Structure 1
Amino acid sequence: MRKILELDISPKQKEQLESLGINSEGWSLGDVVNIMAVQTAMKGNVSAMAYCRDTAGFNPELQLREAQFEYEKKQKSGEGVEIEDVSDIVEKIWGYDQWISMLNDGVPVLLTKQVPYRFSDIHLDYIRKCQDNTYNILEGAVRSGKTVDHVLAFAKELCDTPDKFHLATGSTMANAKLNIGDANGFGLEHIFRGQCRWTSYKDNDALAIRGPYTNFKEKIVIFAGGGSSASYQKIRGNSYGMWIATEINLHHDNTIKEAFNRTIASHRRKIFWDLNPEHPKAPIYAQYIDKYAEKAQKGILKGGYNYAHMTLFDNINISEERREEIISQYDPDSIWYIRDILGERTIAEGLIYNKLATSIAAKDGKFRIEKKIAQAMARSGKIIHINVGVDFGGNGSGHAFVATGELQGYEKLIILKSRRYLEGEYDPDTGKKILDIDPKALDELFIRFIEAVTKEYGFITKVYADSAESVLIRGFRTALVQSGHGDIKVVNAMKSKITDRIFATTALTAMNRLLITEDCESFEQAASMAVWDPKSLELERLDDGTSDIDTLDSFEYSFERDISKFLRR
């Protein structure tokens, strides 16, 4: 074959070369074959493309083997191979012994630094805690440095974890590669510079890591998307040691469950999640993060729970000038500022009570009145009516009670107290789990609320209850008589048009005539999450279980009969 390829070319072939602008002098048949391969590749033939790439010496697999061969040659000869120097940050976070253990193979290397790590104390402390906890969750503002923390903690664990395969996910695979693999120069491919290569594993991009930091044991990090309902199929069939996920709130629940299942058999199981603030009742909180926090607080979550909240101000890599530039794009009194800069859980789109929700999220106290001041106003006669609104639960909704006080001349409306009871959740007063709310149990909750209001404020004018539940209303009346509160009347709520009730509330808010005591947590949560239904052409409050409509209804029942009096003023 060599002899054939070394044959001289024919006159016709020389003409073809000349027509391409190539001097045909000294060209062989093998040279013509290569030119034909290039021409074929230019027509879109993938095999020809690969042939041209590989023949030219650009095959990444071959390049890696050659690099590894050179590395081993230099290792034996004592020459250094250039890798990323992470000694300063490793020593600062985990100590000198950790750094020594990463280079305990005795291989001479050339350490050069390209990744400029700088962390504030809150970030250093969080990264340090990742070593001792299975669940590591970072939540907060955009550009607060969350992902970089996790990438570094994840990389440190990769060095000596006994597991070979690990998982890195984002809303899409490209997102995972961008935020975890690259991470603006702080990603895995930069930490393991000189020791890693991009490859493919089961239709997913993967980063293969093998070098001094892993003691020449290969670690494979598989990158996958998690945003669609079918994404989980891409990560099936493997067992993973650790899982790092960026923007976990954008992952489909199928992916989350599958990833957890895939890490069950790992030798060192670790989870790293980061996310920007979401809807306070978003599934990622309700089904995972808040449950973990609750179990960790009770001491029943095995493996350890490491959670931190970061703001834009915690990232010392952003200069003051750049930070001011970013902040200047936001209205400091807006819900967007609270979510994107302060990193608080809020709803930003479609809010009904925008001004009220913004104030609650900012905790600025603009609508706050101290409970003791409201009590003094009730004793002095400034509060002329105290009404209680009741909305009955069922089919996933909760039983809600709200007490409001109306000032003389209907000058202001004060929300004095609010409670919501939902089966499966915890009683806000006793801390006990609510298992079943039958009519008798509901009567007890109602009387407890009534007695708390009368004890704290002295009287109750009327109770306005949802007229759809006449049997429960009769039960309330009986319970009031039996408990010595027979003078308190329970009547049907007027249940006026919902938008009229909403606009009355927003009008009072706009005029700073709505006040809330510190004893109204359920109302504040409900007002902060109430949004318009995006699928309706009419103005309708979204009622799909993601927000607390029960508390809002009971609040509105308590004062709706006096709306005209408030607005007339």
Structure 2
Amino acid sequence: MAITKTKTINWGFGEKHKEYIRNCKYNTINVAEGAVRAGKTIDNVFAFAMELERTPDKIHLATGSTAANAKLNIGEANGFGLEYIFRGRSRWGKFKDNECIYVKTMTGEKIVIFAGGAKADSFKKIRGNSYGMWIATEINLHHDNTIKEAFNRQLMAKNRKIFWDLNPSKPKHQIYTEYIDLYKKKQEEAELVGGYNYQHFTIFDNINLTEQRIAEIISQYDKNSIWYQRDIIGKRMIAEGLIYRQFATNPKKYRTDKAKRNYMSINIGIDFGGNESKHAFVATGITRGYKEVVILESERYETDVDPDGLNQLFIDFVKRIINKYGKVNYVYPDNNEQVLIRGFKNVAKKERLNITIRDSKKIPIVDRIRLVTSLMAQGRFSYTQNAETVEDALTNAVWDSETDELKRLDDGTSDIDTLDALEYSIERDAKRFINQ
């Protein structure tokens, strides 16, 4: 029976990408690192697919931080993944309780198993099989147990190949010190058998992005921020210094006197005090189409008030916002304090305030920071003179330099309470702000 040929991939490869893919043929370990949207994953998927045609090994491994992530970025890849490349001769299925894709190749049927790798016990899902090749996306998000187990599972491979991609992490991240940079050193000293193929990419290396699209993407970033250095330039960066450097340099640039206008929604974010922190209230106006965020007012209160006193502070703040700016649509308090939230709901009902009180969503803090810096970079963030605590909080927010993670310093020297309240007021609409 004739085998359908591999489908031509409708994707352009720049010279740096072509060189990397060609070198994959001759090296055991292949690593593509750099900026987001640079085309790294597609390079590896394409190189992996070409090897799949001729490798004698039957079972292979594809991993991501989760199995779903692996299927999305390697299997589907926005229409450029394995199921697309092998369209007409592949099918999704199961192999020993693992999700997989079966592929008919010129050298027989191959099985690619998809698995997650982020958790300490993720390695258990890939035990029991011997794998020929291993392709991993976002390898820096894999637990070391998974990495070591995957290597062990390849010991009997006839054509052992590794394809990794990653966005930049902190320079001393384990993925560099124990693997990527170590391999480079061993290769330079002629100690690495099998060969090592490494390439670094920036967003400008992706020829599929037009100049206009690149300009649009870049406009979403503060060029002085860690996000620009990582996401656009593809640099390994240490998180240190001011978080909102562009804002801190000139806060008055973001101040507005045009706050009295109709808003699509007015939200109030609330962070409850405790452990030397304070109660913080932030009222935010959102314009139609999620175009702009305007911080209308903010307050910070001591924590030595009883629940009844806190309820009164809440009612006074809500009524002030309503009187000045119109209807308050949503209130998003810190979801860890359900007793205090019930108190707010009861007193709001008693006062006949037509507001909806919902728990804060608490998306990851890093994602909240990204949202605020993006809005600032695009000129879509402003605050009024009645939001001085927000001005102070943004001006003094700094990274915690004592941790390998992207984490803001919370030692009492900066106002984390107001930052949390601000973020609670807009985080539920994060995707709408980004996609507007």
TM-score, normalised on structure 1? 0.43
1:335 aligns with 2:226: yes
Partner secondary structure for residue 137 of structure 1: strand
Unaligned runs of 5+ in 1: 1-71, 76-80, 87-114, 357-527, 541-569
Aligned partner of 1:394 in structure 2 is none
Contact 1:226 1:232 in 2 (8 A): yes
1:207 aligns with 2:101: yes
Contact 1:172 1:224 in 2 (8 A): yes
1:125 aligns with 2:125: no
Cα distance in 2, alignment partners of residues 128 and 83 from structure 1 = 20
Contact 1:171 1:250 in 2 (8 A): yes
Counting only pairs closer than 5 Å after superposition, residues 103-502 of structure 1 correspond to structure 2 as 115-210=9-104, 214-215=105-106, 217-348=108-239, 351-352=240-241
User: How far apart are residue 538 of structure 1 and its match?
Assistant: 3.7
Cα distance in 2, alignment partners of residues 147 and 200 from structure 1 = 24
Aligned partner of 1:8 in structure 2 is none
User: How far apart are residue 287 of structure 1 and its match?
Assistant: 1.2
User: How far apart are residue 82 of structure 1 and its match?
Assistant: 5.6
Contact 2:28 2:162 in 1 (8 A): yes
Q: Deviations over 1:215-256 (max 9, x none)?
A: 250100000000111110000011000000000000011100
Aligned partner of 2:357 in structure 1 is none
Cα distance in 1, alignment partners of residues 77 and 132 from structure 2 = 22
User: How far apart are residue 535 of structure 1 and its match?
Assistant: 8.0
Cα root mean square deviation, aligned: 2.3
User: How far apart are residue 117 of structure 1 and its match?
Assistant: 2.3
Paired letter, 1:253:
D
User: How far apart are residue 333 of structure 1 and its match?
Assistant: 2.2
Residue 319 and residue 85 in structure 1: after superposition, are their counterparts in 2 closer, same or farther (change >3 A)? same
Contact 1:335 1:346 in 2 (8 A): yes
Paired letter, 1:168:
A
Cα distance in 2, alignment partners of residues 529 and 119 from structure 1 = 39
Residue 268 and residue 283 in structure 1: after superposition, are their counterparts in 2 closer, same or farther (change >3 A)? same
User: How far apart are residue 530 of structure 1 and its match?
Assistant: 3.0
Contact 1:138 1:275 in 2 (8 A): yes
Partner secondary structure for residue 192 of structure 2: coil
Aligned partner of 2:282 in structure 1 is none
Contact 1:83 1:193 in 2 (8 A): no
Cα distance in 2, alignment partners of residues 177 and 85 from structure 1 = 19
Contact 1:137 1:308 in 2 (8 A): yes
Residue 177 and residue 135 in structure 1: after superposition, are their counterparts in 2 closer, same or farther (change >3 A)? same
Between 339-348 and 257-266, the greater mean CA deviation after superposition: 339-348
Paired letter, 1:180:
I
Q: Deviations over 1:481-531 (max 9, x none)?
A: xxxxxxxxxxxxxxxxxxxxxxxxxxxxxxxxxxxxxxxxxxxxxxx9935
Residue 125 and residue 216 in structure 1: after superposition, are their counterparts in 2 closer, same or farther (change >3 A)? closer
Q: Deviations over 1:174-213 (max 9, x none)?
A: 0000000011111111111111110101221101111xxx
Greater helix share, 1 or 2?
1
User: How far apart are residue 320 of structure 1 and its match?
Assistant: 1.1
Counting only pairs closer than 5 Å after superposition, residues 500-519 of structure 1 correspond to structure 2 as none
Paired letter, 2:22:
R
Partner secondary structure for residue 309 of structure 1: strand
Unaligned runs of 5+ in 2: 246-398, 415-436
Over alpha carbons, which structure has the higher Rg?
1
Cα distance in 1, alignment partners of residues 173 and 243 from structure 2 = 19
Cα distance in 2, alignment partners of residues 117 and 259 from structure 1 = 30
Paired letter, 1:259:
A
Partner secondary structure for residue 286 of structure 1: helix
Q: Deviations over 1:93-129 (max 9, x none)?
A: xxxxxxxxxxxxxxxxxxxxxx312110000000000
Identity of aligned residues (%): 58
Q: Deviations over 1:410-457 (max 9, x none)?
A: xxxxxxxxxxxxxxxxxxxxxxxxxxxxxxxxxxxxxxxxxxxxxxxx
Residue 278 and residue 239 in structure 1: after superposition, are their counterparts in 2 closer, same or farther (change >3 A)? same
Contact 2:7 2:87 in 1 (8 A): no
Paired letter, 1:269:
R
Contact 1:241 1:263 in 2 (8 A): yes
Contact 1:353 1:530 in 2 (8 A): no
User: How far apart are residue 83 of structure 1 and its match?
Assistant: 4.8
Aligned residues: 259
Partner secondary structure for residue 155 of structure 1: helix
1:530 aligns with 2:401: yes
Cα distance in 2, alignment partners of residues 246 and 128 from structure 1 = 19
